[in-house]
Amino acid sequence: MGNDGGSIPTRRELVKEAARAPSTAQVKEVQREQQEHAWTTCLLSHKALARPIVSDSVGNLYNKDAVIQFLIPGDDGEGISSKSDCEEILCGRVKSLRDVVELHFEIDTELTEHPSDKINAHRHERREGWICPITAKPLGPSVKSVYLVPCGHVFAEEAIRQLKGDKCLQCDQPYTEDNIISILTTKAEDKQRLIARGQKLAEQGLTHSLKKAPGSKKRKKHAATENDAANATADATNSASGPINRSNTSTPTPGSGIKNAAAAKIAARVRDEQDEKNKRRKVAGLNENLESLFTKKEDGKKTGDFMTRGFTIPASARR
């Protein structure tokens, strides 16, 4: 390889054959294996899927206990991948249990062998057989499957498309077209639809399960409290300075218009105190010391004010 009298081979000599693009059959085989793995294995814990099973907004399947373990704050939980790996898998779609829906599968009476038994027969792994309650077809990578939000009942896609109803066929709970979620779909258009649905729900303050997002009520209540406090302060200031001109307001309200009881009491007390002060001023009149500074009538004659009192104009000056 050099410095020993030998030759240095070129890349052309080392690479006998150029890399070939995988054929369509090879691509389908890889996709089938990936689908089979996703239908039988939790992506977070890498354990076999076992009820209760939940799904996120794009149709991925997880064991519910693995999701709960991920949501527990602190160190990496036992039995799941690291927090960073889980976050990479979830892509921020799961922040609470409201972001997942628990799925309800129709169980076949006969247990079917786990697909991996052909390879790892010594493990004797078996799982429940899931079937569509309408078509009785086995649910898995070979059948396109969907579930409904918010009830979570699972069906074959063809059963939902053909019947075209607006209520779940098992629990009669209403649903809309947008709330039909494809399970482990490989179609790009289905993935885009589910992603757009999640964004739309987030703008409305809702989660994947159609429940309100955590903290939305608190933020709304906090904003309302701040507005009530601001209204109370404004009313108190306006009452001290004079009457409020509401002619230019778009929606005039009777009284102070304060919905918060505590703030309304404070504003009313400030207004009452100011009115009492104004009444006292009218009753008491001017102070005696102040009155002596101004001209007033005595016996029909005007007395001098502080500018002329104590000073007599000479007679010569009057001429």
Place of tokens 């000479």: 314
Q: Report pLDDT digits (tens) over 3-40.
A: 666 778 777 777 766 667 888 888 888 888 999 999 99
The counts of H helices and E strands in the chain are: 10, 12
Q: Quickly state the pLDDT bin for 262 (edges 50, 70, 90).
A: low
Angle formed at CA 156 by CA 153 and CA 157, multiple of 5 degrees: 105
Amino acid code (one letter) for 181: I
For residues 315 and 133, which has the higher predicted lDDT (pLDDT)?
133
Residue 238 backbone dihedrals phi, psi, to 5 degrees = -65, -35
Place of tokens 């929606």: 251
**Does the pLDDT of residue 57 top 70, yes or no?**
yes
CA-CA distances (angstroms) from residue 196 to 154, 177, 187, 188, 283? 22, 14, 15, 12, 71
- Quote the tokens at residue 93: 């779609």
Asked whether the whole model's pTM tops 0.75, one would answer no
| Highest mean pLDDT pick, 81-85, 177-181, 218-222, 308-312 | 177-181
Distance of CA 285 to the CA centre of its chain: 62
Contact at 8 Å (CB) between 67 and 209? no
Q: Supply the CATH classification number for the domain 26-203.
A: 3.30.40.10
Domain boundaries, the chain: 26-203, 215-240+260-281
Q: What is the pLDDT of residue 116?
A: 46
Q: Quickly state the pLDDT bin for 192 (edges 50, 70, 90).
A: very high
